[in-house]
């Protein structure tokens, strides 16, 4: 029954009671003089006000009690279609606002409270993947409490319960894409507030240039600032005993600071790098550590793999190129020369189908590398394909499509794969042809719909692994960055080592570039008026208990005024 029906009935009944006049009774008296004087002395206007006040109080009491008894939908939400509230669990949601008092997740909770307060009657709500429907009061209480549960969901792509409308609260930085029923009305609520940040995006050890020298550590720092001004950063690197390096930096927003650190004077064990930036709002990327400074390759979440040929014996690489001269001096040759764990045993020119085979048998090798060429048949050993020609398939990639080549940008990578540990490829410009990927292979890096790097695990019936880098290294900025050496080191280790036994080291808190660039988002920033309302109290809906209590209090007030002669 609609709540306005008992409300109207109660008001009419009260009005009727006040309008009913008792039947006049005849009473003979000796004289009416005294009655006339008494009536003249009374103030009829005051009586009329007392009557109106009494009617108003009685009507209000009856209305409150009748509405509370009817349990109106806006007092006790019924079975209305739920509104789903989905909160981005990405680390950047923990970034603070420029005022330093709140964070993006707190702003998301404030926006959610506003939406709940303005929702229509009968609405129920769900939060993230929890299907439990909540009333307005319940969800407001949840959003007003500790917010850790909103930003620490274990699944980065939760399945949102079926709802009439889904509100997604995100800053647009992380890859948060909740699973939502098709056709559901979805609205993205931006909580992006640009601010200053500097972060360590890489801190990893590298093999020495020669076996006689000690390991080095590569550190990279990125900074961002919405005002495009220089960002002052203090860098400290310490071992277990003391701070070994302290340096003052001034970084331009978007620029990359890269440095090599000689670990020869460090005490064996953990090494920690920290940065301190005035106005920094994202502290999760201000610290990174090396688990074991004395072992090359130890870094954040490093996958420890046991080499079958021993830890000190370099891997033997046999190179097949268009010609010996074309390989000498190339980016691939320089990267292999810089890796002390690799020994290039021979470089030979590729032969055509009608050319006789070389007289000397190829030397024993662990990996065969094809530089700008590819064999007619896949080799029987692990293979590394570098910029394979489009006329033949190579490394799990088909023939290249005959389309004009244009520069593209790598926008998708599998950062969890060991090949990309310590390697930054996002936003790298490349020129790569369109190829189809073999079903047993995986795209490790992609530029739009084109595969830039492909990896192929052994087939079920046994066989070697293969890795294909489908773009020209010499015409890419990767050739001028330390990432290329790290990529080759990881490639050699992945192609020759067996990952059957592995142990994960402790997480050092190292963040990727996407998390560090807390202002890189396709969403519009939050308007200043939303920030001004962040700390303002939210309206909480009335409950039937509140109205019933108010009705009883007014009824008590009516009784007191009646006995004191203030109302009728």
Identify whether 225 is part of a domain: yes
Helix axes 44-70, 4-19, angle to 10 degrees: 150
Residue 443, pLDDT score: 92
State the DSSP string of 91-149: GGGGPBPTTSS-BHHHHHHHHHHHHHHTPPTT-EEEETT----B-HHHHHHHHHS--HH
Same domain, yes or no, for 119 and 185? yes
Range of the domain at 229: 197-303
Identify whether 165 is part of a domain: yes
Integer distance in angstroms from the first to the last C-alpha of the chain?
33
Q: What is the rounded average pLDDT of the residues 247-252? A: 93
Tokens of 175: 């890859």
Which is higher by pLDDT, 539 or 228? 228
Q: Tell me how far apart the alpha carbons of residues 182 and 460 are, in angstroms, rounded to a whole number.
A: 37
Residue 309, pLDDT score: 39
Strand order in the sheet with 124-127: 124-127, 82-87, 165-170, 185-190
Which is higher by pLDDT, 558 or 405? 405
Residue ending a domain, choose from 145, 166, 195: 195
Same domain, yes or no, for 215 and 87? no
Task: Read off the pLDDT band of 295 (50, 70, 90).
Answer: very low
CATH of the domain at 240: 2.60.40.150
| Contact in structure between 318 and 369 (CB atoms under 8 Å) | yes
Residue 233 has pLDDT above 90, yes or no: yes
Same domain, yes or no, for 298 and 312? no
Tokens of 287: 């610290």
Residue 25, pLDDT score: 65
Same domain, yes or no, for 329 and 446? yes
Strands 165-170 and 466-469 turn out to be unpaired
Task: Enumerate residues 6+ apart whose C-beta is below 8 A from 262.
Answer: 214, 216
* Percent of the chain whose pLDDT exceeds 90: 19
Residue 207, pLDDT score: 58
Residue ending a domain, choose from 468, 497, 526: 497
Task: Read off the pLDDT band of 218 (50, 70, 90).
Answer: confident
Question: Which residue carries 């050739």 as its tokens?
Answer: 479
Output the average pLDDT for the chain: 76
Residue 3, pLDDT score: 53
Identify whether 130 is part of a domain: yes
Which is higher by pLDDT, 370 or 7? 370
Task: Enumerate residues 6+ apart whose C-beta is below 8 A from 249.
Answer: 221, 232, 233, 234, 235, 257
Tokens of 328: 């000498």
Same domain, yes or no, for 128 and 269? no
427: left (phi over 0), alpha (psi -120 to 50) or beta: left
Q: By C-alpha distance, which of 200, 203, 285 is closest to 249?
A: 200
Which is higher by pLDDT, 51 or 260? 260
Q: By C-alpha distance, which of 518, 526, 428, 434 is closest to 475?
A: 428
Q: What is the rounded average pLDDT of the residues 382-410? A: 87
Identify whether 553 is part of a domain: no
Which is higher by pLDDT, 263 or 230? 230
Residue 319, pLDDT score: 92
Q: By C-alpha distance, which of 179, 226, 400, 216 is closest to 293?
A: 216
Residue 480, pLDDT score: 80
Q: Tell me how far apart the alpha carbons of residues 519 and 526 are, in angstroms, rounded to a whole number.
A: 12
Beta strands in 353-482, from DSSP E residues, in sequence order: 367-371, 383-386, 407-409, 412-413, 429-431, 441-447, 450-456, 466-469
Residue 357 has pLDDT above 60, yes or no: no
Same domain, yes or no, for 292 and 149? no
Same domain, yes or no, for 369 and 239? no
Q: What are phi and psi of 248, to 5 degrees?
A: -95, 125
Identify whether 4 is part of a domain: no
Identify whether 49 is part of a domain: no
Q: What is the rounded average pLDDT of the residues 167-192? A: 88
Residue 124, pLDDT score: 87
Identify whether 16 is part of a domain: no
CA separation, residue 5 to residues 9, 67, 416 (Å): 6, 9, 63
Residue 221, pLDDT score: 92
Residue ending a domain, choose from 303, 320, 336: 303
Cα–chain center distance at 134: 25
Residue 43 has pLDDT above 60, yes or no: no
Same domain, yes or no, for 161 and 212? no
Strands 165-170 and 185-190 turn out to be parallel
Q: What is the rounded average pLDDT of the residues 178-189? A: 88
Residue 16 has pLDDT above 70, yes or no: no
Q: By C-alpha distance, which of 270, 210, 276, 278 is closest to 244?
A: 270
Q: What total of structural domains would you count in the chain?
A: 3
For Cα atoms 93, 299, 304, give the angle at the middle one, nearest 5 degrees: 120
- Quick one: which H or E segment has residue 503? strand 502-504
Residue 214, pLDDT score: 65
Residue 89, pLDDT score: 87
Residue 346 has pLDDT above 50, yes or no: yes
Give SS3 for 442.
Answer: strand
SS (H, E, C) 191-227: CCCCCCEEEEEEEEEECCCCCCCCCEEEEEEEEECCC
Residue 446, pLDDT score: 92
Residue 490, pLDDT score: 86
Poorest-confidence range of 17-21, 353-357, 364-368? 353-357
Residue 232, pLDDT score: 95
Task: Read off the pLDDT band of 167 (50, 70, 90).
Answer: very high
Residue 68, pLDDT score: 60
Same domain, yes or no, for 334 and 478? yes
Residue 499 has pLDDT above 50, yes or no: no
Q: What is the rounded average pLDDT of the residues 256-284? A: 87
Which is higher by pLDDT, 68 or 114? 114
Same domain, yes or no, for 368 and 487? yes
Residue 1 has pLDDT above 50, yes or no: no
Q: What is the rounded average pLDDT of the residues 43-69? A: 66
Q: By C-alpha distance, which of 317, 434, 432 is closest to 383?
A: 317
CA separation, residue 500 to residues 101, 382, 419 (Å): 48, 17, 16
- Quick one: which H or E segment has residue 185? strand 185-190
Residue 500, pLDDT score: 39
Q: What are phi and psi of 153, to 5 degrees?
A: -65, 135
Residue 502, pLDDT score: 33
Q: What are phi and psi of 526, to 5 degrees?
A: -70, 140
Identify whether 76 is part of a domain: no
Q: What is the rounded average pLDDT of the residues 299-323? A: 58
Tokens of 360: 């000397």
Tokens of 354: 């009608």
Q: By C-alpha distance, which of 106, 19, 2, 68 is closest to 531?
A: 106
Q: Tell me how far apart the alpha carbons of residues 499 and 501 are, in angstroms, rounded to a whole number.
A: 6
Question: Which residue carries 């739920």 as its tokens?
Answer: 82
Q: What is the rounded average pLDDT of the residues 126-155? A: 78
Q: What is the rounded average pLDDT of the residues 413-420? A: 85
CA separation, residue 449 to residues 392, 400, 406, 420, 469 (Å): 20, 13, 13, 20, 15
Same domain, yes or no, for 322 and 466? yes
Q: What is the rounded average pLDDT of the residues 409-423? A: 85
Same domain, yes or no, for 439 and 341? yes
């Amino acid at each position: 029954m609609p709540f306005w029906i008992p409300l109207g009935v109660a008001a009419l009944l009260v009005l009727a009671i006040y309008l009913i006049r008792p039947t006049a009774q005849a009473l003979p008296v000796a004289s009416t003089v005294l009655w006339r004087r008494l009536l003249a002395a009374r103030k009829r206007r005051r009586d009329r006000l007392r009557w109106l006040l009494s009617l108003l109080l009685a009507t209000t009491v009856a209305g409150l009690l009748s509405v509370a008894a009817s349990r109106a939908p806006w007092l006790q939400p019924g079975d209305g279609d739920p509104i789903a509230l989905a909160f981005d669990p990405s680390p950047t949601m923990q970034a603070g606002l420029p005022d330093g008092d709140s964070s993006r997740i707190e702003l998301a909770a404030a926006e959610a409270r506003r939406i709940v307060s303005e929702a229509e009657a009968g609405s129920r709500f769900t939060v993230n993947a929890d299907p439990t429907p909540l009333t307005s009061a319940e969800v407001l209480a949840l959003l007003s409490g500790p917010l850790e549960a909103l930003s620490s969901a274990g699944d980065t792509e939760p399945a949102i319960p079926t709802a009439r409308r889904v509100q997604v609260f995100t800053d647009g930085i992380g890859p948060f894409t909740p699973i939502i029923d098709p056709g559901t009305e979805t609205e993205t609520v931006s909580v992006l507030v640009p601010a200053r940040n500097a972060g360590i995006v890489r801190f990893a050890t590298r093999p020495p240039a020669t076996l006689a020298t000690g390991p080095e550590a590569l550190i990279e720092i990125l900074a961002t600032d919405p005002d495009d001004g220089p960002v002052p950063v203090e860098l400290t690197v310490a071992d277990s005993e003391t701070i070994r390096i302290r340096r003052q930096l001034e970084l331009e927003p978007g620029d990359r600071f890269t440095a090599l650190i000689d670990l020869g004077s460090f005490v064996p064990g953990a090494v920690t790098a920290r940065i301190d930036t005035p106005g920094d709002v994202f502290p999760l990327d201000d610290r990174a550590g090396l688990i074991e400074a004395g072992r090359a390759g130890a870094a954040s979440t490093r996958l420890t793999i046991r080499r079958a040929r021993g830890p000190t014996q370099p891997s033997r690489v046999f190179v097949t190129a268009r010609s010996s001269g074309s390989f000498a001096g190339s980016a691939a040759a320089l990267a292999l020369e810089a890796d002390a764990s690799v020994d290039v045993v021979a470089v030979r020119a590729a032969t055509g189908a009608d050319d006789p085979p070389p007289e000397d048998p190829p030397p024993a090798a662990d990996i065969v590398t094809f530089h700008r060429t590819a064999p007619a048949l896949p080799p029987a050993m692990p293979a590394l394909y570098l910029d394979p020609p489009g006329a033949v398939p190579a490394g799990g990639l088909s023939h290249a499509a005959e389309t004009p080549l244009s520069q593209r940008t790598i926008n998708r990578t599998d950062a969890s794969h060991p090949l990309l540990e310590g390697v930054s490829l996002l936003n790298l410009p490349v020129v790569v042809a369109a190829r189809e990927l073999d079903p047993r292979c995986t795209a490790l890096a992609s530029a739009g719909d084109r595969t830039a790097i492909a990896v192929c695990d052994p087939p079920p019936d046994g066989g070697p692994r293969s890795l294909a880098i489908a773009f020209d290294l010499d015409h890419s900025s990767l050739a001028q960055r330390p990432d290329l050496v790290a990529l080759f080191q990881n490639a050699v280790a992945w192609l020759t080592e067996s990952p059957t036994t592995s142990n994960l080291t402790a997480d050092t808190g190292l963040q990727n570039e996407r998390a560090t660039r807390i202002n890189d988002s396709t969403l519009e920033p939050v308007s200043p008026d939303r920030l001004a309302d962040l700390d303002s109290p939210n309206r909480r809906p009335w409950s039937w208990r509140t109205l019933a209590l108010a009705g009883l209090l007014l009824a008590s007030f009516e009784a007191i005024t009646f006995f004191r002669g203030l109302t009728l």
